Amino acid sequence: MSKETLPVESRIIPVKRLEEYWERSIEDPEGFWSEHARALQWFKTWDKVLDASNPPFYKWFVGGKINASYNALDVHIKTWRKNKVAYIWEGEPGDTRVITYYQLYKEVNRIAKILKNMGVKKGDRVTLYLPMIPELPMVMLACARIGAIHSVVFSGFSGESLASRINDSNSKILITADGAYRRGKIIPLKEWADKALKLTPSIESVIVVRRTGSKVNMVENRDYWLHELLAGIEPDTYVEPEPVESTHPLYILYTSGTTGKPKGVEHSTGGYLAWVYWTLKWAFDPREEDVWWCAADIGWVTGHSYIVYSPLMHGLTSIMYEGAPDYPHPDRWWSIIEKYGVTIIYTAPTAIRAFMRYGEEWVKKHDLSSLRILGSVGEPINPEAWNWYYKNVGGERCPIIDTWWQTETGGFMISPSAGVELAPLKPGSATFPLPGIDAEVVNDNGKRVEPGERGYLIIKKPWPGMLQTLWKDPERYVEVYYKKFPGFYYTGDYAMRDSDGYFWLLGRADEVLKVAAHRIGTTELESVLVSYPAVAEAAVAGKADPVKGEVPVAFVVLREGYSPLNSLREELVKYVRNQIGPIATPANIFFVDKLPKTRSGKIMRRLLKSVVSDQPLGDITTLEDEASVEEIKKAYDELKKELE
Ligand code: WT7
């Protein structure tokens, strides 16, 4: 499969030689980006493409004025796309909604009016805690329309996680739903939100979407049903889109890091929009007649960029699906592709691996011949999964666009292009950086490593979609991304280039886990564990998992007087789920007498990882900074013995 080339008819971007095109983008970023940003509608064009006077606080399209909702909606309703379908939504129970650009536009205007009536102003923060229902993109766009900054919290997070995100962003308004469907059950979302609301003094009003019809507790003069509010708004209500500065924050999205609480990644409006628009065009070559399905949750950046902003700016028809991939049967996704004639599907390797387990007969039941491109994101795709996806889902016709990027990068960074003549795909490699992206693989000293050698992935130049800062924490922004390799953006990922120059992403180099493509910080889990009365100390490591990529495993030292009982183990697992959310559920908790530590008291995390994944220790000379090789070996053997 390694010599797979892209279908000839899909090469529509007039790039003769990738290298030349790429080089120009790096040598003349201002020229390059001023050409591409013109695809968007600006109320005022920028005075300067890139202001690099105060690195690493780069500013894009400075002086420009723009509005995201206008670019996603208004631009289309002035054209024949007015009645084109924006979203085909399918609920988990099988109910559907088909929403045209015009209908979406009208709803967004009415919701924007509601927010305005509640006193929401430009720059105010609004937190959204919603399942995958059409109201989620509607409210995001309504916020963007009036210049409010949205902060979407994944609906799988607990009330506690929600509360800390609301408090960090100091949101005025919370928008949630009565419940959410998941695998045939109803998740009491409002109940979870009620827990958060006890801890969030900044919230003035709560808007509740009716989804499941569950009975909920509504607090007078604070909680309002969305449908009741809408009943008081004229159907043809128009709210002027607020022309915001290019650097005005469009949204905050919290993501896990190596230390402390989740970080509020702040994205701009102008640079971000230009980036998500252009990257989708580059990587997937979307066409008017495409039926695009990004099968992520809008609670993550993938959904923000490639379910909401970019596909709408392109005027595409998107599928939006509410439920679990295998509910009620393992062919739910394939039936959706067949039913709606999906032409591009974009998902994570963990989903592919789960489907592999169910067997290809579930795929074979369906006619998937409408597909023309497959996408992958969120974690490295192993060649077995790549080949299965290519053969069984894509019928050996569709290229696999493996896109490497992060919450912080806003959009795709390393990826093949479906529209450009380029090198053959190699299963497991995301191929090459996009134009505008100057990526390099370096060692600890910042020197480029040899082909075939593992190193850290860094980005050497700013790009339009980059995060602007961390919300209210510029010091942490500099510390996390620009300290390890001064002047360059540090991704936190390991990577390697092969002798053909292809990039291979090799997973996180830091204390961040990727569990089923979701990002979870080990320290986040540890601090929850030690907040439990019986726990003295805790350390978390990622254990390799054939479907999820990795799963968290915890090592716990109990306080004096507590016994390592199974009931306590179960109690702790439940506690973590309640404090963070189901995605953080430890796969196992080991009670140990002590944690392996260096002399300066640092937990030997990589040792823990090797032990739980049943891997040899590997190269330990660079493993831990202060412990001797003998000490590490001894700790490893002791721990292994203890776990047997
Ligand atoms: C981390 C970012 C990108 C949106 C969803 C995840 C890993 C992401 C790939 C890929 C190998 C990948 C990296 C990265 N990752 N895409 N195609 N190949 N690894 O966003 O939650 O911010 O996670 O996901 O480790 O750092 P995120």
Pocket test for ligand 1, best of 276, 494, 505 (most atoms within 8 A of CB): 505
Measured CA to CA, the distance from residue 179 to residue 210 in angstroms comes to 8
pLDDT tens column, 441-461 = 999 999 999 999 999 999 999
Residue 555's φ and ψ, nearest 5 degrees, are: -110, 125
Q: What is the pTM of this model?
A: 0.94
Residue 627: predicted pLDDT = 55
Atom of ligand 1 nearest to the CA of 407: 22
Whether the per-residue pLDDT at 1 is higher than 90: the answer is: no
Residue 639: predicted pLDDT = 72
pLDDT tens column, 420-429 = 766 689 999 9
Measured CA to CA, the distance from residue 343 to residue 324 in angstroms comes to 21
- Say if residues 410 and 276 touch (Cβ distance below 8 Å): yes
Atom of ligand 1 nearest to the CA of 508: 25
Pocket test for ligand 1, best of 294, 309, 374, 379 (most atoms within 8 A of CB): 379
Question: How close is the Cα of 612 to the center of ligand 1, in Å?
Answer: 23
**Mean pLDDT score, 322-342:** 97
The residue with tokens 């899909």 is: 10
Beta bridge partners of 129: 176
Residue 604: predicted pLDDT = 80
Residues contacting ligand 1 via CB (< 6 Å): 255, 300-302, 376-380, 402-407, 430, 491-493, 505, 508, 514, 519
Measured CA to CA, the distance from residue 403 to residue 415 in angstroms comes to 5
Joined together, the tokens standing for residue 111 give 């919701």
- Say if residues 542 and 552 touch (Cβ distance below 8 Å): yes
Question: How close is the Cα of 378 to the center of ligand 1, in Å?
Answer: 4
Q: Which residue's C-alpha comes closest to atom 21 of ligand 1?
A: 519
Q: Characterize 432-456 residue by residue with b for buried, 16 or more Cβ atoms within 10 angstroms of its Cβ, and e for exposed.
A: bbbbbbbbbbbeeebeebeeeeebb
Question: How close is the Cα of 407 to the center of ligand 1, in Å?
Answer: 8
R_g of the chain computed on alpha carbons: 24
Beta bridge partners of 335: none
pLDDT tens column, 211-234 = 999 999 999 999 999 999 999 999
End-to-end CA distance of the chain: 41
In the three-class reduction of DSSP (H, G, I as helix; E, B as strand; rest coil), residue 484 is classed as: coil
Alpha-helical (H) ranges within 4-100 are 18-27, 29-37, 68-69, 75-77
Task: Tell me the helices (H) and strands (E) count for the chain, helix number first.
Answer: 21, 30
Those residues with Cβ within 8 angstroms of residue 571's Cβ, 6 or more apart along the chain or in another chain? none
Q: Which residue's C-alpha comes closest to atom 5 of ligand 1?
A: 378
Joined together, the tokens standing for residue 20 give 């030349």
Strands (E) in 115-219, as ranges, are 125-129, 149-152, 173-177, 180-182, 185-187, 205-209
Across all residues in the chain, what is the average pLDDT? 93
The residue with tokens 């179960």 is: 570
Residue 598: predicted pLDDT = 75
Question: How close is the Cα of 305 to the center of ligand 1, in Å?
Answer: 14
Those residues with Cβ within 8 angstroms of residue 559's Cβ, 6 or more apart along the chain or in another chain? 533, 534, 535, 536
In the three-class reduction of DSSP (H, G, I as helix; E, B as strand; rest coil), residue 34 is classed as: helix
Q: Which residue's C-alpha comes closest to atom 10 of ligand 1?
A: 404
Atom of ligand 1 nearest to the CA of 507: 25
The residue with tokens 């909606």 is: 73
Residue 633: predicted pLDDT = 66
Atom of ligand 1 nearest to the CA of 402: 17
pLDDT tens column, 76-113 = 999 999 999 999 999 999 999 999 999 999 999 999 99
Those residues with Cβ within 8 angstroms of residue 246's Cβ, 6 or more apart along the chain or in another chain? 46, 59, 60, 61, 62, 63, 64, 65, 66, 268, 269, 270, 271
The one-letter amino acid code at 77 reads I
Whether the per-residue pLDDT at 620 is higher than 80: the answer is: no
Atom of ligand 1 nearest to the CA of 376: 17
- In which element (H, E) is residue 579 found? helix 566-579
Joined together, the tokens standing for residue 553 give 């495993």
**In the chain, pLDDT over 70 holds for what percent of residues?**
94
Q: At what angle do helices 101-117 and 135-146 cross, to 10 degrees?
A: 60
Q: For residue 327, with 0-12 CB atoms within 10 Å meaning exposed, 13-18 middle and 19 or more buried, which class applies?
A: middle
How far is Cα of residue 61 from the mean position of the Cα atoms in its chain?
A: 25
Q: At what angle do helices 566-579 and 522-530 cross, to 10 degrees?
A: 120
Rounded alpha-carbon distances, angstroms, from residue 575 to 108, 534, 557, 582? 38, 12, 16, 10
- Say if residues 67 and 243 touch (Cβ distance below 8 Å): yes
Rounded alpha-carbon distances, angstroms, from residue 408 to 367, 467, 494? 37, 5, 16
Sign of torsion, CA 519 250 415 401? positive
Question: How close is the Cα of 95 to the center of ligand 1, in Å?
Answer: 32
In the three-class reduction of DSSP (H, G, I as helix; E, B as strand; rest coil), residue 382 is classed as: coil
Residue 609: predicted pLDDT = 84
Say which range, 154-158, 294-298, 357-361, 508-512, has the weakest mean pLDDT: 508-512
Alpha-helical (H) ranges within 285-421 are 301-303, 310-313, 332-340, 349-358, 361-364, 383-388
